[in-house]
Amino acid sequence: MNSFSIAYNNFKHNIKTYALNLMAMIFSVAVYYNFIALNDNPQIVQINEIMNIVRSASTSTAVLLLVFLVFFIWYSNSFFLKQKKKEIGIYAFMGIDNYKIGLIYALEGFLQGLLSIVIGSFIGILFSKLFIMLLCKVAFLDVKINFFVSVHALIETIITFLIIFFIISVLGYFNIVRSKLIDLFNASRRQEGLPKLSKFKAAASIIIILIAYGMCISLPKLAVIGSVPIITIMIIFATYWLFGSFFSMIMRYILDKKQILYNGTNIVSISNIVFRIKGNYKTLATIAILIASAITALGTAASIKYNTKIELDLPYSFTYILDGNTGDEIEPKVNKYITSANHNILLKEKVNFIFVNKFKIDKNLSEDEFMVVKASDFKKITKDLKVKDAEGILQKSELKSGEVIYVQRPKTLVQASKIKNIEISNLKYNVKMDLKTPLFGGIINDPCLVVNDKDYEIIKSNFKESKFYGIIVNDQKNTLDLSAKLRTIRVLDNNLYSYAQKYRSGYEAYGVIFFMGCFLALVFVVATGSIIHFKILSEAYMDKEKYKILLKIGMTERELKSTISKQTAVYFILPLLVGVIHSSFGIVILSRLMDCNLLLPTAVSVATFIVIYGMFYIFTLGKFRKVI
């Protein structure tokens, strides 16, 4: 038989062993195709408003996905190669040339990749319409989706994964060619480089992680942004020490407690756990970091969608700004259109304000633009809109001459620095309070200064005054048709800021990002779950004879199942627990920057991971028991 025939027969014989790995790679190929195909879908391309977001989000996600998949495919292939090295050693012992053996197993690995590409591409095409329909549902896109096959995406997917599988197969080939006979026989029993237990590393890992967590919580917002890379490096570095020394020392401590050790089958299960944690600390630490990254990605995507601070940007159903008395002249017509559309006016605000474009901030000349409004009007709007902590804001808004309140831009995420004083027309004003609160909404993305009523009259003499109109109606999410009708009024054509339109376009953009983040996190969790699955099965094959001996000397099957369950659970629980804690502090940073509560999206993200890992645990436990 030639090399290809042997490789093909081996591949057919081991197809069940490859099952989970194949499913993970097939899923990854299908997802990758759909991300690339998004850029070519004619229905999505027609939506000009979000096409740039779709293009950049899908491309970025595809690149991140590809980087992760290269690692995952390399790891899974290394696992299977390690499991077969004893078999390869037997071939070598029989006199078969290492180059031929390497070619056989390189071809077998490539066949596995080829099957993943073929089935993954087919499934990707088959479910492409469903994929885009889900995207449209999440992003509130009102588009009729037709079945579409992107030839460009298909070719790119096939070529990309062919290159990946080819390179990894070649690396596997050289791995076998360079292996010595004795190494081949002992490969399946070789552990990761065992770390020396160090009390210093154990203590340092906890201290470094606590310092990193403390930085997340205590550093000022601006400092946190610059410290994110340092915090990330600290946590990654300390996580390896955590698994390499701290957890091993904890388990060693438990081993010394005889009342725990000699309780049931603990002597077997705890001893195994101690050895496995110590022997596989790099894998467990890597998985914990990947889980933290995935949960943070999912939590971030969810937070972007569900915590967009719409009440700050869109406190009104409709807003517009006009000069002079134009707004008052068209008011009857606006009221008529609203009433005829079966909406009731719940609130109407009319406020005079000034645009200021010549001023100094902390003695530095600024080229930005400010809106200036009276303190009395600010108080009225704050009461009418029933903003959060209205009483506290109103108590602090009593302004003396020369004092101002600085209201941040509606779409400000993080303010770079606090402003202390402002100079307008050679008059100096001290900033009494800096806050983020609804005022005029997002119709103008400029900061606003609230000044004493007398100071307002002084400033007004040097600048032009305009008038703001804000209207709140009932059922404002369903006012798209009314928005279109109001735009028929000539002066409002390009001057109307509509809640329904901005709400919809905002959710379209956030929905796309959320959708991409969810799929990326899903691939992460499936792949990391698969890595744990491979690792546990690898050890199941290693310990098969040991468990048979335990059964022969009196251990019952029930006790054996209990031992296996504990050992398997630790592999899933430890990385998941560490990953969840790490990601929680990542979300804390995001929560502080966005100034909103992200508990709900974080809880949903964590619960999703727990459910999926629970399914992996049950599946892996069943496989472990079958091996034993």
State residue 32's pLDDT score.
87
Element (H, E) at 450: strand 448-451
CA 513 – CA 304 distance, rounded (Å): 8
Query: Which range among 342-346, 359-363, 385-389 shows the weakest confidence by mean pLDDT?
Result: 359-363
What distance in Å separates the CA atoms of residue 69 and residue 167, rounded to the nearest whole number?
A: 13
Instruction: Return the residue matching tokens 């090295």.
Output: 85
Residue 554 has a pLDDT of: 76
Strand 403-407 to 427-435 pairing: parallel
pLDDT of residue 86: 64
Beta bridge partners of 371: 355, 448
Q: What is the pLDDT of residues 306-335, one digit of tens each?
A: 555 444 457 888 888 888 778 788 888 988
- 72-76, 437-441, 517-521, 590-594 — which is least confidently predicted? 590-594
C-alpha closest to that of 7 among 132, 113, 94: 113
Q: pTM of the prediction?
A: 0.69
Whether the predicted pLDDT of 206 surpasses 90: yes
Across the chain, mean pLDDT equals 79
Q: Determine which helix (DSSP H) or strand (DSSP E) holds 293, and give its type and residue range.
A: helix 281-306
Residues near 516 by beta carbon (within 8 Å), at least 6 away in sequence: 35, 57, 58, 60, 61, 301
Name the region of 219 (left: φ>0; alpha: ψ -120 to 50; beta: rest): beta
Contacts 24+ apart (CB under 8 A), 612-616: 612/525, 612/526, 612/529, 613/525, 613/529, 613/572, 613/576, 616/529, 616/530, 616/532, 616/533, 616/572
Alpha-carbon distance of 207 to 281, in angstroms, equals 19
Domain ranges in the chain are 1-190, 193-317+500-537+558-621, 318-475
pLDDT tens string 565-610: 888 888 888 999 999 999 888 888 777 766 666 777 778 888 888 8
Q: What is the pLDDT of residues 150-183, one digit of tens each?
A: 899 899 999 999 998 898 888 888 877 776 655 5
Please say whether the beta carbons of 605 and 518 come within 8 A: no
* Ordered alpha helix ranges (H), 390-452: 390-396
Cα 7 from Cα 424, distance rounded (Å): 81
Between these two residues, 182 and 292, which has the higher pLDDT value?
A: 292
Q: 67-76, 91-100, 257-266 — which is least confidently predicted?
A: 257-266
The more confidently predicted of residues 399 and 190 is 399
pLDDT of 142 reads: 65
